[in-house]
Amino acid sequence: MSGALRVLLAQLKLELDQMAIRIDEADAVLNKTAHENEACQRLVAIPGIGPITATALIAAIGNGAAFRKGREFAAWMGVVPREYSTGGKQKLLGISKHGNAYLRRLFIQGARAVLQHRTKQAPGLSEWLAKLASRTHHNVVAVALANKLAQIAWAVLAKEERYQPPALISLETA
């Protein structure tokens, strides 16, 4: 390699190292903020929600009082399927992708992480995911789980309660 290329690569490496240090500092501040905020601690207990998602959610909706129920929040975020109904027949279409794209992306990525480790989840959630995954495509399952997680997150914020994992549903009652 020529001398000029080596100098350029050394400068780029230095820039990359400085960027990594800044990212680590920002990550530490974010984790500290999430650890000190009681609402963030309640949200982080939900599977698929970490400090980044929790702080972004609180920054976006506060305590969730702007929404009457979790489905409204999920629809605002853009993870509820569009509906086409006529003549008593209901057809669910794709998600609208209107709403907060950043939160939607965070929740869907969190849902994908939960899906990768679905056997380690609470029995009720694990069973629901297994049934859904056997019927439909994994991307649809991820969005459905993101929808469920968004509604749970809204409930945790709006009702100021701790997350309670879903109980195992017996097959006779399902």
Domain count, the chain: 1
Going by their DSSP bridges, the two strands 89-95 and 81-86 should be labelled as antiparallel
Is residue 47 situated within a structural domain?
A: yes
Residue at token pair 């679905």: 118
Is residue 17 situated within a structural domain?
A: no
Query: Could you read off the pLDDT of 119-150 as tens digits, one per residue?
Result: 888 888 888 888 889 998 998 899 999 999 99
- Residues 97 and 73: their CA atoms lie apart, in Å, by 13
Secondary structure (3-state) at 86? strand
Secondary structure (3-state) at 172? coil
Is residue 112 situated within a structural domain?
A: yes
Where on the phi/psi map is residue 52: left (φ > 0), alpha (ψ -120 to 50), or beta?
Answer: alpha
Query: Could you read off the pLDDT of 33-92 as tens digits, one per residue?
Result: 999 999 999 999 999 999 999 999 999 988 888 899 988 898 888 888 766 777 777 766
Give Dmax over CA atoms of the chain in angstroms.
75
According to the model, what pLDDT value does residue 155 have?
93
Mean pLDDT of 92-113: 85
Is residue 170 situated within a structural domain?
A: no
Secondary structure (3-state) at 94? strand
